[in-house]
Amino acid sequence: MNKLIIIGAGGHGKVIADNALKNGYTDICFVDDHATGEVMGFPIIGTSADIPKLDDGKTDFIIGIGNNAVRKMIAEKYGVHWVRLIHPSAQIAACVTVGCGTVVMAGAVINACATVGAHCIINTRAVIEHDNIIDNYAHISPNATLGGTVHVGERTHIGIGATVINNIEVCENCVVGAGAAVVKNMRESGTYAGVPARKIK
């Protein structure tokens, strides 16, 4: 397999490295603007400024940063070969589309005819039901559950254990708090929390 460079050597980058190992990558390294040395035995070979010279046309890249806005900035800045990583234990149904740069973590479920955009995070044991549309740079956190025909906007973060019922639209650039229950459309960007979820800022 190609060499894989993970941009960001923090916690999310570590989980991506493990995902990459499960996908058969053996030549794995990191770039990070704030760390040096090694992570999980894999070398940190430079900073983001080094990405252009590390791009030899054969190397795969993926962003290991949880912040949606930062992920978007990096993806739009560098024209490298972005790879998608789907953990072998994830369950991906028929007619599902997963965009470039997206990571699907262990135990996640994406059901029939869902569409997941580019550079998204579908985290550990998240459930995305049938006919969902997850726009670019969104993050569906561990154990979050999205009912059927949910639309999640660009850069939106659905928190740990949150639930979104069927046929709901969550607009771009929202944060849905951990454990929240979304029972009506969210048409205004902001932070939502509670059961049922309400805008708090």
Q: Point out the residues that are catalytic.
A: 130
Q: For residue 30, what are the β-bridge partners? A: 6, 44
Query: Tokens standing for 119?
Result: 């550079």
Q: What distance in Å separates the CA atoms of residue 147 and residue 143, rounded to the nearest whole number? A: 13
SS3 11: helix
Structure tokens belonging to residue 105: 């973590």
- Residue 175 CB neighbours (<10 A): 20
- Joined together, the tokens standing for residue 36 give 């040096």
Q: Which amino acid is at 127?
A: V
Cα distance between the two ends of the chain = 46
Cβ partners under 8 Å of residue 39, min gap 6: 9, 13, 14, 17, 30
146, 155, 75: which is closest to 114 by C-alpha?
146
